[in-house]
Each structure stands twice: as structure tokens, then as C-alpha cells.
Amino acid sequence: MDKKIKVLIAKPGLDGHDRGAKVVSRALRDAGMEVIYTGIRQTPEQIVATAVQEDVDSIGMSCLSGAHNKLFPKVVNLLKEKGAGDVLVFGGGIIPDEDIPGLKESGITEIFLPGASTEDTIEFIRNNVKQGV
Amino acid sequence: MSCTDKKARLAERQEQWQGMVDKALSRFPERKENFSTTSGIEMKRLFGPADVDAVDYNEDVGFPGEFPFTRGVQPTMYRARFWTMRQYAGFGSAKQTNERYRYLLGQGQTGLSVAFDLPTQIGYDSDMELADGEVGKVGVAIDSLADMEILFDQIALDKVSTSMTINAPAAVLLAMYIAVAEKQGVSSDKLRGTIQNDVLKEYFARGTYIFPPQPSMKIITDIFSYCKDNLPNWNTISISGYHIREAGSSAVQEVAFTLADGLAYVDAAVKTGLDVDDFAKRLSFFFNVHNNFLEEVAKFRAARRLWARLMKERFGAKKASSMMMRFHTQTAGCSLTAQQPDNNVVRVTMQALAAVLGGTNSLHTNSRDEALCLPTEDSVRIALRTQQIIAHESGVADTIDPLAGSYMVESMTSEIEEKALEYINKIDDLGGVVKAIEAGFMQQEIGDSAYAYQKSVETADQVIVGVNKFTIEEAPPENLLRIKQEMEIEQRKSLAAVKAGRDANAVDDSLKALREVAESGDNLLPAIVSAVKTYATLGEVCGILREVFGEYIES
């Protein structure tokens, strides 16, 4: 039997809007995944340290403050530095369309925008997590 | 016909009508098995006289401007003066935001409302590492008095009322406002406005806390006390349900948790020796207005009535002004859709109308593009025009509380009051708001409601037009307002210039004095006012307080 997919849901930066992060955490748990939620106000360093320590398969970051262009890529770079570049990274929040190509280029595999369903997120993780490779 | 005869006749007719309903149902089933509000209150097929049997007009409804204020807090309401039209705004630098303020005032806005960026809200300067990427993003960046002077340039502070959405560092921003006014030659007793200063909800719904609950409550009561003597026209707190609702609560939870926070502040102030009738009239509130129109109207009426009763019963308030709940309302940001954003104009219109029919004292209407970015000038103008159209064209402001006496609205008002009081009693049983936060009670309740709502949207049980029904293929939106990355660099440069140009000894002395006051337990405000006048930065002042009071860590 496959082991449970382990996901870290993280709130980088100073943004306190965590309704989405909490709803997604709960939906992933209901879908049978193991979910760790960091709580708000995490630095990229803290997020990556937790991800490495918990050996997660995926990190989902939520940012509604507009600081995503700084914070999301920083997490990806730190993951690579720590030899955890294979962790699947995705994000969500108030993110202008024009920022998405740059974020994807920096290693964020998918960006979920307002109105996205939790089903889409669940399916995305199931299809993209590289498990036990 | 006697009263008993009338009742019997009513029951008979009700039965006849039920027969018609049953016949209709057998041919045309209703759209849903159960109709209910966000708070799980049943929306009956029809409300009638029996639903308001328990409502006593004199006791429960009364007259506007009189206890329990169900119908509004002023005797003539909008016939004298419309609600204050106050659009929350702030982005980038103080200069950019000042331009937006002067634009809005020029368009007929009647009050200012300052949005600060997150570093400012959490007491960090723009040059601190944790501010990286956040400077000027969700509001204006204020590092020192120098920024505040630019923010209110050419705006006469004795003429305008200003609301500031600032919580943990509220004392510092208020001190800067006092200092700017002084430079304009306006004494602090002339100042009108509001600081949000509601830290309790930050711990469970909004997130911009700094200090642990105990010193936070101390700072808040210091502000009450300082303003009582120095800023008699200032609203010392805006006890906020807005963010509780945005975090996902129901309407009942919004009322309950907001009023529970309010009771905690009053209790803390009374314990420091303040007389409830000396400070309670300066307490103000802030609510959300969401989509369920009738529930929202009833919510406002219920909140006013419940607060009045609680102030009278629990604290023995004697003055009417101590029991009167005055509140600002903002349309629900979380109800805006990124899809077909022009539809948001319609949502905002209906929400704003509910707030007006609920008797709000001031109002912010959201802009159509806020699910995408900060609002553009065009979008903000439409949002403001929405209020102006309701005020000047719809006619609803010409008579007071026009939905009173509706079987449905009165019944719903009573039910919301009752259910909110149950929550407040439950929080009392848990040992009060701080204990309830530590136990995660509100967080859990709000989280459950948010998740249930999300599920109802995903199953399309709750239709969101343009999102899960009536969708179209859309081109990416254009003309969005962006804050340029260079802004952060510019802000750091100007902060460096302020630091280089100030009297360093005066700054050091003022910060040393502040530390002594903080350690002694005396009122912090005079020392904070002195410190900001030396151009000590927000981060420096909050830094001292962080060292003395410690920081709150979310569990």
C-alpha cells in the first residue's frame, strides 16, 4: 500500500489571512493526506527547516499580501540548497496572472487562484508528487 | 372581533394555507429541502404574527436613539446626516497614499481610513529583514513621524475624521497623529477619528498581534485612559467582527465573538479603576456585511440591542451613550470573485444596502477588483458612487429602520441575539475570551464554518455566480494596480535619511524614558508621544516594548 502523502501548508511572510490555508489543510486531510500547517508569519528559512525535518512530499504556500514574488522563490531556492529540490511546491493567494510565469520558472509547479476548488488541489498533488523515487 | 377570535381565525387560515402549500409541493417540490442562513437559522417559508409573539415593541424594539437602540443610535438617523462614507485606502508610500486621500475627499468622501502595510501593523521598520517583500503592499508604509507628516499633507486634521486600522502598535500611530496635528496647529482635543486597537481578534482572526494578551490589554486601557483626558472626541477602539467574518465565521459568530471581545475590554478597563460611563461612549464597533441580505440587516439590529443590554446588565452603565453601539461596516471582501469582477459591483451594492438598512454609522464599499489586486482609482470611484447612489437616489435613507416590524426581520433579530448570547455565555464558561483563545475555541468554531462554507460552494449547494455557475471563458484582467518593487528600496532610503537627520541623543533619551515607563507600569502614552516627536521610528518604539513585554507566539 502507498504511504500517505505528506504535505506542509505554509504561510510565509507577515500575512495573517489563513482561512484558505486552513481550509486547504483540512480538505487534504479529509482526502487521506498527512498535513502539517505551519501557522502564520513563517520565514522561508523556518518553512524549509520544517519541510526537511518532516520529510514532506509537498509544500503548499499561501500568500495574500502581495509578497509572493519574494517569498515563494526563496523557499524553492532554500529547498535546493538543503538537497530537497524534489519536494513539490505549489502556491495560492491573490496572485496577478502576470506573475505566474515567473513563479513557475522559479520552481513553483502550480498556482491556485481565488475560486479554485480544493478538489483541484488534491488532484494536483496526487498527480505530481514523486513518491519513493 | 376579540383578540382570541382573531387568533383562532389566524390559526384557521394558516391551516388552510398549509393545505395549499402541501398541494403545491406535491406538484412542484421546492428548490431545497431546507433553507437556512449562514448561521444555520431556518429561513421559514413564511414568517407571520406568531413568529413575533414574544417580541415586545417597547422592551425589544423601541425608538431610535433610545435603549436598547434596536432601531438605531440617533433619534433622526440618516434624515439628519448620512452615514460617513469612508473608504479604506493606503498603499505604497505616504506620498502615493496622500494623493489617493485627496482624490477621495475631492470625490465627496466624508472621512479617511488608513490602511497600513504589514510591517507597520506588526511594528517593524521597512529596513528590517522581516519586512522584506511586504513594504507598501497591503497598505502604506509608515516608519516615522516624517512619513505621517507626508501622509496628511494638505489635509486639515481639525476638519476630517480619520480611522486607522492599527492594532498592536495603535498607541504609536495615534501618537504620530497627535504630533502631526500639533504641527498643523491643531490641539488634540479637536481630533476626531478611530484607532482599531482591538488586539483580541488578532489572536484568533487577523494575525497582526505583537505582544502577549496581558500587556496588550494594558496598552489598550492606557489608551482609553489617555484619550479620556486628552482626546475626548476620539474613538479609542473599534471592536471588530469584520475580520472574524472574513476568517469564515457565520453572522451569529461574528456578533458573538465581537461582543465577547468588547466585554473583555470593558472588564479590563473597569478593573483598572475607570468608571464605565467615563469611557464606554468612545467604544466603537466594526462589522462585515455579507451576502445574505435579510440575515445581515437583522444582525446589525441584534448586535445593537444585545450590546446595550449587556452594558446595562453586566456593567451597570447609566448613560445612554455608554450603551449605544456605534459601528462602521465594510462589505465582505471574501465575497468578491476574481471571475467576472464587474459582478462584484452588484454584490457590493446589495451588501451596502443591507448595512444602511441595518443602520450603520459609517461604511466602506469594496471595489470590484479587490479579489485581484489593490483597487484602481476607477474602481474606488464606482465603490464610492455606490454609496452615494444609495444615499441620494434610493430613498431608503428617508425613513428610519424601514424593515422594523417585518415578521421575518424581527424574528431573525431576536434569534440572532439569542444565539449570540449563548456563545457569549459559553465563552464566559471557558473563563473569558483570553482563555477561550488559548483553548482554540473561536479558532475551531470559525474554522468549522469556513470549511462548511467551502464545501457548500464546491458542491454548488451555495451558488456563486461566475464561479460555480454561469461561468465564462475570460481574458486575464487588465489595468491592475501594482506596487513596484522599487518602492521598497525608496522607502528604505528615505528612512535612512530620517535616521541620519535626527537628533540621535534626543532619540536615545526618549527611548530610555519609554523603557522606564514600560517597566514601571505607568501609562505609556505620554512617553510614546515624546519618542515619536524625536523621530524615533515605529520599529524602535515597538522594539523597546517587545523587550519589556515579550512577544506572543501562536500555539
Cα torsion for B230, B191, B183, B543, to the nearest 10°?
70
Residue A132 lies in a domain: no
- Whether B108 contacts chain A with CB within 8 A: no
Judged against a pLDDT cut of 80, whether residue B39 lies above it is answered with: yes
Q: Which of A11, A17, A30 is best to mutate for the B interface (most B CBs within 10 A)?
A: A17
Judged against a pLDDT cut of 60, whether residue B496 lies above it is answered with: yes
pLDDT bucket at B476, cuts 50 / 70 / 90: confident
Residue A130 lies in a domain: no
Q: Determine the pLDDT at residue B555.
A: 75
Q: Which candidate, A68, A54, A63, places its Cα nearest to that of A99?
A: A68
User: pLDDT, tens digit, for every residue of B256-269?
Assistant: 999 999 999 999 99
The answer to whether A15 contacts B202, with C-beta atoms less than 8 Å apart, is no
Judged against a pLDDT cut of 90, whether residue A102 lies above it is answered with: yes
The answer to whether A26 contacts B451, with C-beta atoms less than 8 Å apart, is yes
Which residues of chain B does A117 touch, with a Cβ-Cβ cutoff of 8 Å? 457-458
A:B CB pairs within 8 Å: 90
For B397, the grid coordinates are 435613507
pLDDT bucket at B554, cuts 50 / 70 / 90: confident
CA distance A111 to chain B (A): 14
Q: Determine the pLDDT at residue A112.
A: 97
Q: Determine the pLDDT at residue A45.
A: 97
Which residues of chain B does A13 touch, with a Cβ-Cβ cutoff of 8 Å? 118, 133-134
Which single residue is written with the C-alpha cell 469612508?
Answer: B86
For B1, the grid coordinates are 372581533
Minimum CA–CA partner of A39 in chain B: B554
User: pLDDT, tens digit, for every residue of A76-97?
Assistant: 999 999 999 999 999 999 999 9
Q: Which of A11, A15, A19 is best to mutate for the B interface (most B CBs within 10 A)?
A: A19
CA distance B83 to B87: 12
Run of H or E including B420:
helix B407-429
Judged against a pLDDT cut of 70, whether residue B532 lies above it is answered with: yes
Q: Determine the pLDDT at residue B1.
A: 67
Q: What's the order of all strands across the beta sheet hosting B237-240? A: B234-235, B192-195, B161-165, B111-115, B84-89, B362-364, B327-331, B283-289, B237-240
The answer to whether A118 contacts B206, with C-beta atoms less than 8 Å apart, is no
CA distance B476 to chain A (A): 7
Residues in chain A: 133
Q: How many domains does chain A have?
A: 1
Residue A83 lies in a domain: yes
What's the average model confidence in pLDDT over B4-15?
92
Share of chain A above pLDDT 90, in %: 94
- Three-state SS for B78? helix
User: DSSP secondary structure string, B333-366?
Assistant: GGG--SSSTTHHHHHHHHHHHHHHHTT-SEEE--
Q: Using N-to-C axis directions, what is the helix angle for B213-230 and B538-549, rounded to 10°?
A: 130
Q: Determine the pLDDT at residue B214.
A: 95
Q: Determine the pLDDT at residue B482.
A: 85
Task: List B163's β-bridge partners, or say none.
Answer: B113, B194
CATH classification of the domain holding A69: 3.40.50.280
pLDDT bucket at A133, cuts 50 / 70 / 90: very low
Run of H or E including B377:
helix B377-392
CA distance B397 to B391: 6
Sign of the alpha-carbon torsion through B369, B370, B375, B381: positive
Q: Determine the pLDDT at residue A3.
A: 85
The answer to whether B118 contacts A98, with C-beta atoms less than 8 Å apart, is no
- Answer whether the bond into residue B68 is a cis peptide, omega within 30°: yes
CA distance B475 to B462: 25
CA distance B143 to chain A (A): 16
CA distance A15 to chain B (A): 7
CA distance B488 to B486: 5
Rounded to 5°, angle at Cα A116 from A113 and A120: 120
What's the average model confidence in pLDDT over A46-68?
97
Judged against a pLDDT cut of 70, whether residue A2 lies above it is answered with: no
Q: Determine the pLDDT at residue A131.
A: 66
Share of chain B above pLDDT 90, in %: 95
Burial bucket for residue A127 (CB in 10 Å: 0-12, 13-18, 19+):
exposed
Q: Determine the pLDDT at residue B484.
A: 84
Q: What CATH code would you report for B57-458?
A: 3.20.20.240
Per-chain mean pLDDT for chain A: 95
User: pLDDT, tens digit, for every residue of B302-315?
Assistant: 999 999 999 999 99
Which residues of chain A does B131 touch, with a Cβ-Cβ cutoff of 8 Å? 14
Which residues of chain B does A26 touch, with a Cβ-Cβ cutoff of 8 Å? 447, 451
CA distance B191 to B182: 10
Rg (CA), chain A: 13
pLDDT bucket at B513, cuts 50 / 70 / 90: very high
Note whether ipTM > 0.90 here.
yes
CA distance B214 to B549: 9
Burial bucket for residue B448 (CB in 10 Å: 0-12, 13-18, 19+):
middle
DSSP conformation class of A66: S
Rounded to 5°, angle at Cα B110 from B62 and B100: 145
Sign of the alpha-carbon torsion through B459, B465, B470, B472: negative
Which residues 132-171 of B are in CB contact (within 8 Å) with A? 132-134, 137-138
The answer to whether B454 contacts A69, with C-beta atoms less than 8 Å apart, is no
Judged against a pLDDT cut of 60, whether residue A1 lies above it is answered with: no
- Three-state SS for B395? coil
Judged against a pLDDT cut of 50, whether residue A51 lies above it is answered with: yes
CA distance A25 to A42: 16
Q: Which candidate, B21, B31, B41, places its Cα nearest to that of B294?
A: B41
Q: Which candidate, B168, B166, B146, places its Cα nearest to that of B98?
A: B146
Q: Are B292 and B251 in contact (CB under 8 A)?
A: yes
What's the average model confidence in pLDDT over B44-59?
96
User: DSSP secondary structure string, B247-312?
Assistant: TT--HHHHHHHHHHHHHHHHHHHHHTT--HHHHGGGEEEEEEE-S-HHHHHHHHHHHHHHHHHHHH
Minimum CA–CA partner of A28 in chain B: B451
CA distances from A15 to A21, B119, B398 (A): 11, 10, 41
The answer to whether A41 contacts B373, with C-beta atoms less than 8 Å apart, is no
CA distance B25 to B33: 11
Least trusted range by pLDDT, from B216-230, B457-471, B475-489: B475-489
Which residues of chain A does B247 touch, with a Cβ-Cβ cutoff of 8 Å? 18-19
CA distance B239 to B222: 16
For A129, the grid coordinates are 508528487
CA distance B389 to B366: 15
B282: CB partners within 8 A, 6+ apart: B224, B227, B228, B232, B234, B235, B236, B237
CA distance A129 to A113: 20
Q: Are B410 and B55 in contact (CB under 8 A)?
A: yes
- Whether B554 contacts chain A with CB within 8 A: yes
Q: Spell out the domain ranges in chain B.
A: 57-458
Q: Are B72 and B401 in contact (CB under 8 A)?
A: yes
Judged against a pLDDT cut of 90, whether residue B60 lies above it is answered with: yes
User: For residue A29, which amino acid is it?
Assistant: R
For B56, the grid coordinates are 415586545
Range of the domain at A120: 6-124
User: pLDDT, tens digit, for every residue of B351-364?
Assistant: 999 999 999 999 99
Q: Using N-to-C axis directions, what is the helix angle for B170-183 and B525-533, rounded to 10°?
A: 60
Q: Determine the pLDDT at residue B425.
A: 98
- Whether B339 contacts chain A with CB within 8 A: yes
CA distance B346 to B342: 8
Per-chain mean pLDDT for chain B: 96
Q: Which candidate, A31, B152, B242, B540, places its Cα nearest to that of A60?
A: A31
Residue A1 lies in a domain: no
For B155, the grid coordinates are 489635509
User: DSSP secondary structure string, B95-148?
Assistant: HHHHHHHHHHHHTT--EEEEEBPHHHHTT--TTSGGGTTTTTSSSB---SHHHH
Q: Using N-to-C axis directions, what is the helix angle for B213-230 and B525-533, rounded to 10°?
A: 80
User: For residue B279, which amino acid is it?
Assistant: F
Run of H or E including B504:
helix B504-520
CA distance B84 to B179: 25
Minimum CA–CA partner of A30 in chain B: B451
The answer to whether B458 contacts A65, with C-beta atoms less than 8 Å apart, is no
